[in-house]
Amino acid sequence: MCRSSLFSAVQLLGFDCGTLSVRFVLQGTTDHYEGQSAHFEAQVEPLHDPNLCIEFYHNGKPLPSASRFHIAFDFGYVALDITHVVSEDAGEYTVKAINNLGQCTSSISLRVQGMPYRN
């Protein structure tokens, strides 16, 4: 099943992959402490392409199936939520949009820090 997504931090990015005409506008926060939740979202265009497939990757490998990873893909809205991030979640996340005309990708790095010391 085609579902996935990737997102950027406090920045807006637009991509035009030639004839594919897929656009990403990526938003999110890239710095998190262990135990926090990460949320990334994007608007992918064209909205009504029945052949559009969205895939997510972490460090170049397909995003693993895990209860902590939640992906939504509906009417051009794509979201990836990672609950209770751990240090192994750090790295590059890539979203790939694919249709009959080709593919387009966008990537962002997620940084995960240990919890700050509290008295």
Chain centre to alpha carbon of residue 100: 21
CATH superfamily placement of domain 18-113: Immunoglobulins (2.60.40.10)
E-strand ranges in 21-101 read 23-28, 31-33, 38-45, 53-58, 61-62, 69-74, 77-82, 91-99
Q: What average pLDDT score do residues 65-79 get?
A: 88
Q: What average pLDDT score do residues 62-76 get?
A: 89
Q: What average pLDDT score do residues 20-35 get?
A: 72
CA-CA distance, 6 to 69, in Å (whole number)?
A: 12
Map out the domains of the chain as residue ranges.
18-113
Confidence (pLDDT) at 112: 96
b/e per residue, 7-23, with b = 16+ CB within 10 A?
bbeeeeeeeebeebebb
- In this prediction the pTM is 0.76
